[in-house]
Amino acid sequence: MTFYERYLNGETKEVYDDIHKLGEKAFLTENIIDIEKVLIETFERVSYNLNVIYKELTDINYLFKTSFKFNSDCPLVKPLSNTNQLLDKLENLVEPFGYVPESLKMFYKIVGACNFGWDYDTNYNFIWDCADPIEIISLDDLVSQVANADNLEFLEDSYNEDGFTSLDLSRDYFHKDDISGGPSYSLQITPNKSIDAPFLYEENDTYFINYLRICFENCGFSRITKPEYKNDYKVFFEKVKPQLKKI
């Protein structure tokens, strides 16, 4: 079977494992058309899952932000009308350091952006502590961030020091709970064209698509089940999990 047929057949993780093994060969004509179909299906499911979780959180009066200075403050943002132009600009900005992975580009084309963080400015009594709600910065905000002269200098410095650099996509779970915190969760800019890439500074030590998979396995909150926080999540899981699609 093709990757796409296998994916539809339920081999969601296995398909991406095999795609990863292809490396740059994934972009050969005989592979990329099939792989793009998998990516489209994946991110259509991501969009579907986010909408399900958003609805269920709204139903339990989860406190989303209601005042938005930037698109990235909004719980859900549909793909922007100028997505293609913004992606072109992003790719030009990072060209000295490498390539934007296809997974992120497809996220912005099909999903848009999300921020399921609690509005602690309105009410500091979190429904769940250190649960790490899913958050991926809006493309317009990401491009503005990268285009800033100071950030471009930082990208260059980190590239020269570490041999790679990355795009900041999400606050870490401490920042999401307003408890200081560490570096942002970031997607590595890869030296060669890539389908997916490491999602850095996040505790699961994994790739972007698998990070999203972990988030959906935990109904949008990757750390909600940590026993030390004693979060009461079971009723929410029982309602939400059966509705979500495997990615």
The answer for 245, left when phi > 0, alpha when psi is -120 to 50, beta otherwise, is beta
Q: If pLDDT is split at 50, 70 and 90, which confidence band does 127 have?
A: very high
Query: Two tokens at 33?
Result: 């058309």
Instruction: Judge whether 246 lies within some domain.
Output: no
Q: If pLDDT is split at 50, 70 and 90, which confidence band does 135 have?
A: very high
Instruction: Judge whether 36 lies within some domain.
Output: no
Q: If pLDDT is split at 50, 70 and 90, which confidence band does 181 have?
A: confident
Instruction: Judge whether 227 lies within some domain.
Output: yes
Domain count, the chain: 1
Range of the domain at 92: 64-232
Q: Which among 148, 146, 137 has a CA at the least distance from the CA of 189?
A: 146
